[in-house]
Structures are given as structure tokens and as C-alpha cells.
Structure 1
């Protein structure tokens, strides 16, 4: 006789119901969750992991709990005339919000979430997700649709409040504004990596808010943000180890502020063209700027100076003298790089691994280039 008659009766009734309804998923093992988790972790292929989840509800739950990344792309844009018919599912932004909520609730242990666009939050979603919190640490919103919808501050607050544990976010080409960036900075203050590449609607005001609220920020990409002059860096504590600011109109004062922390290891700068700078008062990365960078960044490993036409010999000598940790150097399109500058880099940058140079658009002779790097430093990978 069973010590637990009620449990015995319920089990027998459940088995009878399952026999009457063979399509119903049943538990097929009494293995504890720890054992099931261990089995799941030994499965290497996607097919095996998916098959594991269709065994029964308990096994499906184990699979869902072990899901750490989800890549859901919906780039469909009905307003774009070149959008190929049938290439993307026609899911409205409102439906995407519902789908996203359900996915986040189902996969409780996601660490990486990639979406084709931000979901458009409705009043219904707002009411249904007041207390919802996700464990996602990396959120990717690129590439976004050609016509990014406008979001109110309330909607953005709701979206970003779902992800309080974010450490990395990519909003590349998203059209986010200063108010949206301010909302992000306040909701996700633990951010360490932020990609705002081609977010042309943000200005120095939004940048300043991000830097002041996200004190653990280590990597920032503001390339081709045409409205940024960099004054947002002034007066902020700098913890950056990586900065990409190609085609930004940075002044020398801003560059001094950026390198003042002394921790930069990766710096990507591509100058505004000379003609554009005259009209738009943009900054040209010149010799003085490179002197400041080389002296202020002793840990620099990666330096991107493509198309910086105003850097002269003194700047390249400073790189060779001060950048002793440099591993990768990009100087394509630097027309004033000469043989003496090349020699200074070769003699001074002893840890150089990769050197990107456009041999046709500078003052270096091909024979000297081969002599310095093929002869003296054959281990360096030369891209020309």
C-alpha cells in the first residue's frame, strides 16, 4: 500500500489521461534537473540540443534554461522600395514587442539577445511588463530598419528597463536621440561597451550624459556621428580602453581630455577631409594631435590613422618613440608619411604585428619599405 495514496491516485489518473490523449507530452524520466543539465551540456550540435527539448516538457524546460543567446532578426521594412518581397517575415513593430516579451519570459537565462530592430511598445505591453526584468547582458539592435520608428521617452524607458543588467549594447544606425541615450544611461548604468556608430541624431549632450552615468564604460564607438564635437568628454572621468571616433569633429582640447586617463589601448581615428573641415570647422588629425596621443597613451596597442593627411614626420617619430606596446598601425592614405617616419616606426615599435600602409599614396619608396620590414622585421605582416 502506498504511503501517499493521494499522490498515487493522481499519478494513475494522469497516466490514464495520457493514454487517452497520446499527443500529450509526458515526463519520460525521473532524473533530477542536475543530471539533465549535465546531459544537455555534453550535447555538441544544434540538432541534438533541439531534439533534447522535444522529449517532454521537463526536458524542454532544461533546454530553455540553458539557452544563453538568441538571434532574432526582423528587418522587414514595408516603406523601403528596394526591400525584396518575401525575404523577411512581415512582423509589425507592435507584434515584435509581444514576441520579444514572450521570448524573454521563456528563456530566463539569456545573456545575448540580437534583434533586427527595437520593438514598438504599446500601452498593453507597458501594463503587462511593469515588473519584467531580464538577465540579458548583451543587446544588439543592428542592423536596424531603414526607417526607424520614433520612440517616446516612456517607451524607451520601458524597453531599457527590461535590461538592467546590460553591460554591452549596440545601437548602430538606430537613429536614437539624446533623450533616448539619456534614458539608456540611467536605466543601464553598468554598461561597459556601447556602439553608437552612425547614430547621427545624437549630440555632445547625449554623449556627456552617457559618460557621466556609465562610470564603468570601457569601449565606445561614436564613428560617423556627425553632430559630435567631443566636448562631452570634457570634465568626465575617463575609464575607456577603446574608442572609435572616425569622422568626428574632435578638437585638440577634446583629444587631450580623451587621452588624459592614460588607459586607451585601441584608438580609431579617421580625419574629416580637408575640404570638408574648412566648411564645417571639423578637426583634422594633425601632427600636434598625434603627439598628444602618443604621449598620453603608453598602453596603446591599436592605432587607426587612415587618411590623416596632416600628420608630418614629427608625429610618426613620436609614435616610434612613445608607443612601445603598439601591435597594429593603420596609416593608409597618410600622404606625408616618408622614409624617415617609416624608419622611426620600424625602429621604435618593437611589438608591431600588423602594419597597414598604402604604398601609392605617401612619400615612402617601395625599396625602403621592403628594406625596413622584409629585412629588419620579417615577422610583421605588411598590408599595402
Structure 2
């Protein structure tokens, strides 16, 4: 590409502009297509574009990974995640991780979800060769155990995010290693790691004092002692904790969260059947200016008292799930405007609340004008026909889910939880 000649000649752009000036041009390009087109001009522009590339998404293969490392020396994020329903096997393997550890030493973020072909041998290489790593996702890498990830904890002491969801061989030993080496850890996703206990969560809290996001859903050996310790230590830092189906979690955990974690935004306690109204009321008051989403489906002791307190006090609440809480009735939503219910609620899941009637749904519509999703599946007294007969007018922007299996989830609602 050259500048338009004036008279008999003109200057070539590549002779006038320095590499730094071309990089400045590149940074001002918005859409990815424009940035890709930049590299098509000539080899020099392609080299500059490649050196500025920070994110890569690729498939497996040592040779390809070496070429990527050579072409994109400035890459900070690499995504090799596989689809759960991938059609090729084995996909990413330990040899690939060996190349990554040796060729992408400045990498900050590495995603390896569903890479079922990798083992402790390959992951240990990451700990040896990637001291700058800050985020690692090995969710559903089913061969991994404490051994490989302890090597990561020891070698990657700047780690802030670790996702090990579905890695069922993980035990408290990894959490102990994290507490000793990764003191900056903020985000731990360990849903389904059934080997984790209260002792491991307590050990994690001893060393990692800045946990912001913790997901230990379906860790059924974790109960009040571990949750209370995290709440006390992380206190103002904790903004999201997910405890889905942690059957040992009870009132003590919620009281501790209410007492210590005034900045809590997301709480998932679905399936924690021993939680009662009183601690939820305490939480509603303590987190009135922070709580945004709360999932407490199958909390069978929850009544209208809890729900009214949440809706009245939590000013920022946008999503709540009380599905299968069979003590919820129309009373929870009656006279909403008169009782100061907030109008910003976007998602309300009241599926299988068998005592609810059309009158309750009508109160919901009147109180929450911003509602975008309403789940009334398996509410025997609330059907499409009964709502039409009663003249209920749903907002045009509100999706109402009347039918379908409770096992099916809707992405428009689940993103809040």
C-alpha cells in the first residue's frame, strides 16, 4: 500500500511510518474483521498484527502450537477447550501441554475445559514452565488429581483463578497447597469435587484471604464449619458463593454470611434443605444494598416471610429462584407496591410452588414492571388458560414459562445464577 503520488512521485507508507506508529493505527481498529484485514496489507503489517495479538483459540497439535507461539509472541490468553460432545479423540494431550509450557511462558490465561486426554504428567509441566499464569480452567478434565495441580500451585504463585469443576479426584490436599502458595487466589470453581471437606475449605481460608468467587456446589462433605470460616476470613471481599446441593449447609452458614459479607451479590443455596426463614431475613437486611441474585429452590423450610423480606429490603435484587418451595403462597407477593417491593426484579422462578394461584401471579406483574422471565412450570393452579381467563396481562418483554420439564434450564435465566 502506498500514499497517493503527487506529481511524479510519492512516499510509500512503509517508508514513512514506524512500527510504533503502525501499532497505534492497529489499536484504533475496532471490529476483529478490521484488525484481520490490517494483516493482509503486507508481511510487515502481518508481523505487527501478529505481535499485538493477545488472545488465541486453537485445537490440539504440538506442531501447530509451536507455529502459533512463534507467530504470536505477545499472546497472553490461550483457549484449547473442547466441546463435551467433541467428535475427535484424544484431543489435547500431555504433549501439547509440554509445548505450551515451553513456548508460551508469558501466558496469563489458559483454558482447557473438557480436555479429557490430559493427565497429571502434562499439567505438572505447566507448573514448571509458566510462572506468570494467573488463570487456569481444567474443568471436567477427569484424569487430573491433586498431584498435577499441586505442581501448578507451587509453580504458578500468581494464580488468581482456578476452575476444577467436575475433577472428582481432587481432595483437600490441593486446597492446602493453594493456601500455602497461591495467596492471591480470588476465584475458585470446584463444583462436584466430592473429595473436598470442611477441613480443606478451612485450610484454603487460612492462606487465601481474598476469595471473591467460590463455587463448591455439590461438594456434599462441606457444611457450616467450612462456609463460616470462608465468610469470616474473606468478609468484605466475597461477592459470590455457590453451595448448590450442599446438604450439610444450614442456618449457621447464612447467619455468618449475613454478619461478615455485606458486599455479597450472588448466593446459591438450592437444595440446602435445612435453611429456615430467620437467617434469610438477617441476610436480606445485612446485604440490602448488594444482593443481586439468590437461588434457594428446594429450601423446603422457606416461607412467605423470607421472600417478602428479600423483595422489600434488597434494592438491587434482579433474580430469585424459590422453585419447589412448597410453603410459598400468594401472600408473598400481595400488596407489593404498598410494602415497598423493589421494581428492578428481572427473573422470578416460582416453579412447582403448588400453593400459588393466578392471584399471586397477578400481584407479581403489578409489582415488578421490569420482569423479563417468569417460571411457573408445575404450578397446578397457574396455567396459560387460567391466566387468560383471569385477564392477566404479562409485559410484552416478559417470557413466561408455563410448560416443560423442571430438569430443563433456560439460559436467559440461568446466567443470573
Same fold (TM over 0.5): yes
TM-score, normalised to structure 1's length?
0.71
Distance 1:36 1:66, change over 3 A: farther
> Is the Cα–Cα contact under 8 Å of residues 221 and 245 in structure 1 kept in the other structure?
yes
Aligned length: 314
User: Which residue of the other structure, out of 63, 66, 69, is the alignment partner of 2:110?
Assistant: 69
Alpha-carbon distance, 1:292 to partner: 2.1
Alignment of 1:238-249 (within 5 A): 238=261, 239-248=263-272, 249=274
Q: 1:308 to 1:56 in 2, by over 3 A?
A: closer
* Residues 208/288 of structure 1: CA separation in 2 closer, same or farther (3 Å cut): same
Aligned equivalents of 2:124, 2:250: Cα separation in 1: 38
TM-score, L = length of structure 2: 0.66
Residue 51 (structure 1) aligns with: 67
- Pick one of 120, 127, 143 that aligns with 2:146: 120
Work out which of the two has the higher radius of gyration on C-alpha atoms and give 1 or 2.
Answer: 1
User: Deviation of residue 266 (structure 1)?
Assistant: 0.1
SS at structure 2 position matched to 1:65: coil
Partners of 1:174 and 1:266 in 2: CA distance: 24
Residue 329 of structure 1 pairs with residue 370 of structure 2: no
Instruction: Kindly state the Cα deviation for residue 309 of structure 1 after the two structures are TM-superposed.
Output: 1.5
Q: Give the counterpart of 1:380 among 373, 398, 403.
A: 398
Q: Is the 8 A contact 1:68 1:109 kept in 2?
A: no
The equivalent of 2:294 in structure 1 is 267
Task: Write the mapping of 1:200-279 to structure 2, written as runs, cut at 5 A.
Answer: 200-215=220-235, 216-235=237-256, 236-238=259-261, 239-248=263-272, 249-259=274-284, 260-262=286-288, 263-272=290-299
Q: Which residue is equivalent to 2:78?
A: none
Q: Distance in 1 between matches of 2:291 and 2:381?
A: 29
Moved more, 233-242 or 99-108: 99-108
- Cα distance in structure 1, aligned partners of 2:320 and 2:111: 33
Task: Tell me, yes or no, if the aligned pair for 2:179 and 2:206 is still in contact at 8 Å.
Answer: no
Tell me if structure 1 keeps the 8 A contact 2:127–2:154: no
Q: CA deviation at 1:74?
A: 6.7
Q: Equivalent residue of 2:136, what SS?
A: strand
Task: Say whether the 8 Å CA contact 2:201–2:230 is kept in structure 1.
Answer: yes
1:161 has 2:180 as partner: yes
Give the aligned partner of residue 323 of structure 2.
Answer: 306
Q: Provide the C-alpha distance between the structure 2 equivalents of 1:143 and 1:285, rounded to a whole number of angstroms.
A: 29
In the other structure, the counterpart of 2:6 is: none
The 3 A distance-change label for structure 1 pair 372 and 41 is farther
290 and 375 in structure 1: CA distance in 2 versus 1, 3 angstrom threshold: closer
Distance 1:246 1:318, change over 3 A: farther
Within 5 Å, which residues of 2 pair with 1:339-354? 339-354=358-373
Partner SS, residue 214 of structure 1 = helix
2:380 to 343, 362, 365: 362
| Match in the other structure for 1:316 | 333
- Flag structure 2 segments of 5+ consecutive residues without an equivalent: 1-46, 76-99, 403-417
